[in-house]
């Protein structure tokens, strides 16, 4: 099992602070600062999560001293682990690691986490594999012996990257792995110190657009055989990245996709506070200027929720909106 997960769970807090449970004699409840786990600063989670936190802070009602801070992290697995041990109250994650956390599978093998609830879909995530035009890399199989950024430890990117490489017969040691976010990886590609990078990102990704302005890049497409293996061994789904997603693309690229979702601690956030956070975000989602904020709609709100427990506060909000039976 992921050593970081093991360490985090082993020091799980015996009693998380019930931030939303204690009111006072006034019409408002006192609540401390909350931490929203995002991802690496060069990816999609951190800038989008920062805007989400700002929107929530500006629109939560009835709580004195309420403040959510977006913090950089290792993303999905890291965020779920930190929620488990009481370090984060909110987290962004791909929905598939969240399912693994419930059952003790994947990066959570042997450890089940059940103190979190689904609080809404954020945006669809797409695995984008970038290399340079002169790298000689045309397929995933060509990554053998190459310097490859597979994403930070505990990220959905790394879990998906390893699965994709496995689909082409590449295991640890067959390539030189760099465990870092796409922002740092893009800098290494530009400097000639990295051959390729995996990134589970929004589409289009600003970091890829920026890199393409500095370097002649291309995107590696998955084969039908590779996609079949991935779909048979995970919950990822196949999708085509349209050629008009980036100026440098000349044709559609076969890729995989999953859902980015928001989860909240059921230990640290009670039903009333969870309701208010969900309402503040979705009622004011049009204030999020990040490109992926366009997916924060009630129409999409339950995408990725299947199989996951819903936070009681979010459940109440979505019921009021007529989204649940």
DSSP 43-65: SSHHHHHHHHHHHHHHH--SEET
Rounded to whole angstroms, how far apart are CA atoms 199 and 44? 10
- pLDDT given at position 43: 85
User: Could you tell me if 255 and 83 are in contact, meaning their C-beta atoms sit under 8 angstroms apart?
Assistant: no
Domain 125-258 annotated CATH 2.30.130.10: no
Rounded to whole angstroms, how far apart are CA atoms 107 and 93? 13
Tell me if 3-123+261-320 shares its fold with 125-258: yes
Domain made up of 3-123+261-320: CATH architecture: 3-Layer(aba) Sandwich (3.40)
- pLDDT given at position 5: 54
- pLDDT given at position 156: 85
- pLDDT given at position 27: 54
All structural domains of the chain with their residue ranges = 3-123+261-320, 125-258
Rg (the chain; Cα; Å): 20
Per-residue pLDDT band for 22 (boundaries 50, 70, 90) equals: very low
- 26-42 pLDDT, tens digit per residue, is 455 667 799 999 998 88
User: Could you tell me if 264 and 277 are in contact, meaning their C-beta atoms sit under 8 angstroms apart?
Assistant: yes
- 271-309 pLDDT, tens digit per residue, is 999 999 999 999 999 999 999 999 999 999 999 999 999
User: Could you tell me if 259 and 125 are in contact, meaning their C-beta atoms sit under 8 angstroms apart?
Assistant: yes
The first and second tokens of residue 166, run together, are 């496995």
The first and second tokens of residue 303, run together, are 């995408």
- 108-144 pLDDT, tens digit per residue, is 999 999 999 999 999 999 999 999 999 999 999 999 9
The first and second tokens of residue 103, run together, are 């059952």
- 80-102 pLDDT, tens digit per residue, is 999 999 999 999 999 999 999 99
Higher pLDDT, 227 or 43: 227
Coil, strand or helix at 89: coil
Region class of 124: left (phi > 0), else alpha (psi between -120 and 50), else beta = beta
The first and second tokens of residue 289, run together, are 């200027």
Alpha-carbon torsion angle 129, 133, 139, 140, nearest 10 = -40
What is the average pLDDT across 221-236?
96
Q: How many CA atoms lie within 13 A of 199 on its CB side?
A: 30
Task: State yes or no: pLDDT of 210 exceeds 90.
Answer: yes
Q: Interior CA angle at 318 toward 68 and 125, to 5°?
A: 65
What is the average pLDDT across 255-269?
97
- 102-117 pLDDT, tens digit per residue, is 999 988 999 999 999 9
User: Could you tell me if 265 and 16 are in contact, meaning their C-beta atoms sit under 8 angstroms apart?
Assistant: yes
Mean pLDDT of the chain: 91
Task: State yes or no: pLDDT of 265 exceeds 70.
Answer: yes
- pLDDT given at position 30: 62
């Amino acid at each position: 099992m992921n050593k970081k997960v093991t360490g985090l769970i082993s020091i799980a807090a015996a009693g998380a602070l019930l931030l939303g449970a204690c009111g006072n004699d006034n019409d408002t409840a006192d609540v401390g600062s909350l931490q929203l786990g995002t991802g690496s600063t060069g990816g999609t989670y951190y800038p989008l999560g920062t805007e989400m936190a700002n929107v929530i802070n500006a629109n939560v009602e009835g709580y004195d001293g309420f403040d959510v801070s977006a913090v950089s992290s290792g993303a999905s697995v890291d965020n779920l682990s930190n929620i488990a041990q009481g370090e984060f109250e909110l987290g962004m994650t791909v929905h598939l690691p969240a399912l693994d956390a419930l059952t003790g599978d994947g990066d959570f093998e042997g450890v089940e986490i059940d103190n979190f609830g689904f609080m809404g879909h954020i945006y669809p995530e797409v695995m984008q594999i970038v290399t340079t035009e002169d790298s000689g890399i045309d397929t995933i199989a060509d990554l053998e012996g190459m310097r490859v950024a597979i994403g930070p430890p505990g990220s959905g990117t790394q879990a998906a990257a390893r699965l994709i490489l496995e689909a082409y017969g590449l295991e640890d040691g067959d390539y030189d792995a760099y465990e870092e976010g796409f922002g740092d990886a893009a800098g290494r590609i530009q400097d000639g110190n990295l051959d390729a990078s995996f990134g589970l990102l929004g589409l289009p990704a600003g970091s890829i657009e920026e890199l393409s302005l500095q370097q002649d890049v291309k995107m590696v497409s998955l084969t039908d055989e590779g996609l079949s293996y991935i779909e048979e061994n995970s919950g990822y789904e196949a999708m085509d990245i349209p050629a008009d997603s980036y100026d440098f693309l000349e044709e559609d690229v076969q890729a995989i996709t999953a859902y980015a979702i928001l989860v909240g601690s059921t230990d640290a956030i009670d039903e009333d506070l969870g309701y208010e956070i969900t309402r503040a975000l979705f009622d004011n989602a049009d204030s999020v200027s990040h490109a992926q904020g366009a997916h924060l709609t009630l129409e999409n709100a339950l995408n990725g929720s299947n199989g996951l427990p819903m936070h009681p506060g979010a459940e109440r909000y979505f019921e009021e909106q007529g989204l649940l039976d």
